[in-house]
Chain A
């Protein structure tokens, strides 16, 4: 079993839809939770990160972490064609985990006009 599981999709939604992307994990030592976005033929770029359980909002994006269920989500409101990309969840242990991020497989999202 992988430490981080993410449904690879693909996910196809109409413009304006609310998108929900999810990851589950097995390592209870994970303390930092991140979402990266990767456009085709580009490197991943950080969207947002949260520390431990809770919610964080940034514009149209909301990240949720539920440590008791080992489950994280990213919600995208009013999705736009420019949101079409692969979304990768990533996690890191606290303490001296030396910047090692463990990534999910990525979910391919297409938002069509």
Chain B
């Protein structure tokens, strides 16, 4: 039973389209994250939610909108996709958002987005 699961694994779409990625964790963690990994493997945080509340919102275009319906789910919707959005998007969760619990992130397998 996968701890952090993301769907879909692969997305290929045209510029200008809108797409969503869904994430679910069954670890009972309070905090969830979206990270983006570019073609050079550089992993950078985008958003973080703690118990459905947005706590980190990095400098990300407002075409990206996260949503957390409950603490086990975190979705990412992207409007008007651009070529530069091509990347692997990782969902992750941790027990808490501060202290030692915030160091241990469990990542999903990633959603590989290709914008043509």
| Residues in A lying within 8 Å of B, measured CB to CB | 8, 32, 34, 36, 38, 41-46, 49, 51, 86, 88, 92, 95-103, 105-106, 108
A99-B48 contact in complex given A45-B107, A49-B103, C-beta closer than 8 Å: yes
Interface pair A86/B41, CB less than 8 Å apart: yes
Interface pair A43/B107, CB less than 8 Å apart: yes
**Assembled-state Cα–Cα distance A101/B43 (Å):** 9
| Residues in B lying within 8 Å of A, measured CB to CB | 4, 31, 33, 40-45, 48, 50, 55-56, 90, 92, 94, 96-98, 100, 102-110
Chain A residues with CB under 8 Å of B98's CB are: 95-99
Interface pair B41/A43, CB less than 8 Å apart: no
Interface pair A105/B110, CB less than 8 Å apart: no
**Assembled-state Cα–Cα distance A99/B97 (Å):** 5
Interface pair B41/A8, CB less than 8 Å apart: yes
Interface pair A106/B103, CB less than 8 Å apart: no
Among the interface residues B43, B97, B104, which one has the most CB atoms of the partner chain A within 10 A? Answer: B43
**Assembled-state Cα–Cα distance A88/B100 (Å):** 18
**Assembled-state Cα–Cα distance A8/B43 (Å):** 13
Pairs A-B, 10 closest by C-beta atoms:
A43-B107, A99-B102, A103-B43, A106-B41, A99-B97, A49-B103, A98-B55, A32-B103, A98-B97, A44-B107
Contacts A43-B107, A97-B102 aside, 5 further interface pairs with beta carbons under 8 A come to A44-B90, A44-B107, A92-B102, A99-B102, A100-B45
Interface pair B110/A42, CB less than 8 Å apart: yes
